[in-house]
Amino acid sequence: MNVRGHFHVFLCFFLISVAFYAQEKETTSYFDNEVKRVSNGYLKESAFAKAHTYFLQKEWDSTLVYSMEQLTTNVDDKALKDLCLFFRGYAFKEKGLLNESKTAFLGISEDFTFYNQVKLKLGTILLEEQDYKNALTYFKEIEQYSTDELLGIQKDNIEENIGLCYMHLEQFDKAESYLNRSIALKEARKDTLSLIGSYGNIANLYYVQYKDTLAIPYFEKAYTLSKGIKHFPSKSDATFNMAIVEENRENMAAALMYRKEYEQWKDSLNDQNKVYEVAQMEKEFAVKQKQKEVSLLEAENKIKEAQKDGLLYSSIILLALLGTGVYFYREKVKTNKIIVAQKENLDELNATKDKLFSIVSHDLRSSVHALKASNSDLVDHLEAKNLEKVNTLLHSNSAIVNGAYNLLDNLLNWALLQTKQSYFEITELRLFFIVEQVAHNYKALLLEKKIHLENAVLKSDKVYADQESLKIILRNIIDNAIKFSNPEDTIKIYTQATREGYCDLVIEDTGIGMSEATRQNLLKETIVTSEKENKEIIGSGLGMQLCKSMIKKNHGEFFIESTLGKGTKMIVSLAKIAPNG
């Protein structure tokens, strides 16, 4: 009974180790590639780049040093912080520092890319700490995920660890179900090394329940498989298990044979570990020696470079003194030319500003004066209860206020554009929906003037432009089309393709049109028009200049086709592919 109890404790340790080894081995390639992909955006951070490199090289001490350096210099980026904590938790786990590993993993956000890996690691740590209930919680949370979602971890390894937890919690039926499923999957994959541990697990489950007839064949399977591999820990443990089995069966000759074989593999494992330790020491010594040689060569090179640099710098200083005089003379001439050009440009801008303020203030004064006179008439007709006239005056007041509002809105947008304060982002837009949104705002005005507006833009038409500036362009052009149209006229908006790579948005009205001189004047690079085609219509021309500026900023072009008395076509040509820059 004591022998069986000792055997039980040993097997549990052995089986957990095998399960972990298999998991780590299978994930390496896929997992490393995913680490490289996720880390790629942060490699400009010097400390993180080093931590990332050492992590992939499995240099755990260096990984811990540089990940901590990154955490102390930059913790603002949550994703970067999570990656550093993940590196640290992984490294601590590999070094056997379970408490430190668990602390690092628990500090990682739940939306971290590798959070399933975090759960797996926390589960294995708790399993090693014999906290089987909490370990089971983590394993159950990732049980339903596929191998790809687990970054290469095979589902049979997750099920095996769940089975181990149930076995230690003495829920033997559940443990048997999970362990059998795990074995079936591993047999299908022909994973010999992992199967040795899995056969041992199921054997241990049966053995602790005194089901020796079920347990012993699995111990024998594990031993048979171990003879065909070179993994000394698995060979040693499988042989030792057979020795215990034969001792329990009181077959001492066979037990002695297995004991001798176990000692052989144990010695081989120790020798292998010693060879590895010596190799590591030799490697570290060689690296240190090479670093000394490199440092010595660097020092010699610096002395030689300093001598060369002394001669070079002397020559450069002489040439620099000669070139400096020529440079400053040329710069003085160039600066004088720039100052003269800037003065001329400033004078022109001041003149334009004065003209703009003059026209805008005149139009606003006219609007306010008209509104004041109209309100006076409105009061008189209200007292006289002349409702028909009151209705007419209210509609007139609405038109005046609307015109003044549009003028102020254009003035504000023009000012923001000139001072570069407006937000501007070119994205792919569907023209039909933009036109629908803008046209909807003019529904009442169109109804009042009995003007029919048709949106014939195809829903498939797409352009690259800034959405808000395109809406401002359309508002001004549609507003002008309504303003210069007569009752019962028609406004049609459609697209046409005249140039490759561009889409022409056409706003066509059947209104009063304009003369050729006015058309040419509107296309000039001026802020406001000097003359108006129709003196009765309030407007400064600022809206049209704002449209031209915004179309240009959208990498587009603007055209006007018009005949006096027959209507006007305003054409905004925009790119169908994303402009460079």
Place of tokens 């160039």: 334
Q: Looking at the domain assignment, is residue 108 inside a domain?
A: yes
Q: Could you tell me the residue range of the domain that residue 429 belongs to?
A: 422-575
Cα–Cα distance measured from residue 39 to residue 555, given in angstroms and rounded to the nearest whole number = 36
Q: What six digits make up the tokens of 565? A: 């008395």
Residue ranges in 40-114 assigned as alpha helix (H): 46-56, 60-73, 78-94, 98-106
Residue 396 lies in a domain: no
Three-state secondary structure call for residue 421: coil
Q: How open is the CA angle 139-241-143, to the nearest 5 degrees?
A: 10
Do the domain assignments include residue 25?
yes
Q: Which of 207, 230, 253 corresponds to the end of one domain?
A: 230
Q: Count of alpha carbons within 13 Å of 374, Cβ hemisphere only?
A: 19
- Pick from 238, 212, 236: nearest CA to 224: 238
Is residue 299 in some structural domain? no
DSSP 490-526: EEEEEEE--STTEEEEEEEE-S----HHHHHHHHSS-
- Which CATH number fits the domain that encloses residue 222? 1.25.40.10
Whether 286 maps to a domain, the answer reads no
Is residue 352 one of the residues assigned to a domain? no
- Token representation of residue 485: 């149209």
Assess if residue 291 is contained within a domain.
no
State how far the Cα of 516 lies from the Cα of 537, in Å rounded to an integer: 19
Among 186, 204, 230, identify where a domain stops. Answer: 230
The CATH number of whichever domain residue 485 belongs to comes to 3.30.565.10
CA distance 561 to 546: 19
Q: Are 480 and 554 in contact (CB under 8 A)?
A: no
Give one word for 458, left, alpha or beta, with left for phi > 0 and alpha for psi -120 to 50: beta
When divided into structural domains, the chain yields a total of 2
Q: Are strands 462-466 and 490-496 parallel, antiparallel or unpaired?
A: unpaired
End-to-end CA distance of the chain: 81
* CA–CA dist 19, 147 (Å, integer): 16
60-96: per-residue pLDDT in tens?
Answer: 999 999 999 888 886 678 888 889 999 999 999 899 8
Q: What long-range pairs does 360-366 form, CB within 8 A, spacing at least 24? A: 360/407, 360/411, 360/540, 360/542, 363/404, 363/407, 363/538, 363/539, 363/540, 364/404, 364/407, 364/408, 366/538
581 residues of the chain, pLDDT tens digit each: 223 443 433 443 343 333 434 344 444 677 888 888 888 888 888 888 999 999 999 899 999 999 998 888 866 788 888 899 999 999 998 998 999 999 999 999 988 888 888 988 999 999 988 899 998 888 888 888 877 777 777 778 888 898 899 999 989 888 888 898 888 888 888 878 888 888 888 888 888 888 888 888 888 888 888 887 878 787 778 888 888 888 888 888 888 888 888 888 777 766 655 545 545 555 555 556 666 666 677 777 778 777 777 778 777 887 888 888 788 888 888 888 888 888 776 766 565 565 555 555 555 655 565 676 667 777 777 777 777 777 776 766 666 666 666 656 666 665 665 656 567 788 999 999 999 998 888 888 888 889 999 999 999 999 999 988 898 999 999 989 998 999 999 999 999 988 898 999 999 999 999 999 889 888 887 655 544 555 555 455 778 888 888 899 889 999 999 999 889 999 999 998 888 75
Buried b (16+ CB within 10 A) or exposed e, 370-392: bbeebeebbeebeeeeeeeebee
Q: Choose the final residue of a domain: 186, 212, 230.
A: 230
Using DSSP, state whether 489 is helix, strand or coil.
coil
Residue with tokens 């022409």: 504
Q: Which residue has the tokens 């001492």?
A: 252
Whether residue 161 contacts residue 19, with contact meaning beta carbons closer than 8 Å, is answered with yes
Do the domain assignments include residue 292? no
CA distance to 220, 267, 453, per residue, from 253 (Å) = 17, 21, 104
